[in-house]
Amino acid sequence: MERTILIPIDFKIESLNTLKLALNSIENEHANVVLMYAEYLTDSITELLFYSPKKTIKSLKSPEFEEAISIIKNRYETVIRSIEVELFHGYNVNAFKEFVEAKKIDTIYIPKNYSLRLSKNGFDPIPLIKKSKLPYQEIGWETSTYTSEQLQLNALFSY
């Protein structure tokens, strides 16, 4: 069976832990992963003229983040069919529902006690997800414990 999962991210490595734990719960299935970054679209016409989601994503992605994605890809090689990063520009619940429908998302995973640290134009999509009444699963890990197993991903890049 194959399903598409959606995970909100902030282009920080820690936010990928949600993905890691979500993948842990998927067994004998294939997953297409959509990593969603929510950002307000600019109001300036001149900026919109040169708007390119590819470039925006490229400027937000750090080399460490890409490396972390490739680590997860290698770890769950048989589960993951594809990983793509998408920008979400909507403001309201309907826009988010449209997004979910367009991407054919089956399950939404959101971090339980990790709050996304967003850059300049970004906004936190989690309240929107909760308000949308679409089914979602919360995944939690302890953010501060030093030896916590879930934090290894950060440990790989903790400089």
Binding region for another protein (CB under 8 A): 67-68, 70-71, 73-78, 146-147, 149, 152-153, 155-156, 158-159
**CB contact at 8 A, 88 and 118:** no
Q: Which of 122, 90, 84 is closest to 103 using CA atoms?
A: 84
The answer to whether 97 touches 134, Cβ cutoff 8 Å, is: yes
> Which C-beta is closer to another protein: that of 48 or that of 155?
155
Q: Using the minimum distance from each CB to another protein, give the nearer residue, 71 or 87.
A: 71
User: How far is residue 22's CA from residue 26's CA, in Å, rounded to a whole number?
Assistant: 7
Question: Closer CB to another protein, residue 27 or residue 43?
Answer: 27
Q: How many CB atoms lie within 10 A of CB 66?
A: 11
The CB-of-47 to another protein minimum distance in angstroms stands at 26
CB of 154 to another protein, least distance (A): 10
Q: In the chain, at which residue ranges do the beta strands (DSSP E only) sit?
A: 2-8, 30-38, 80-88, 107-111, 136-139
Q: Which CB sits closer to another protein, 38 or 153?
A: 153
Which residues lie below 8 Å from residue 96, measured CB to CB, with a gap of 6+? 88, 90, 125, 128, 129, 132, 134
From the CB of 105, what's the least distance to another protein, in Å? 25
Residue 57 CB, nearest approach to another protein (Å): 18
Nearer to another protein, 94 or 145 (CB): 145
Shortest distance in whole angstroms from residue 156 CB to another protein: 5
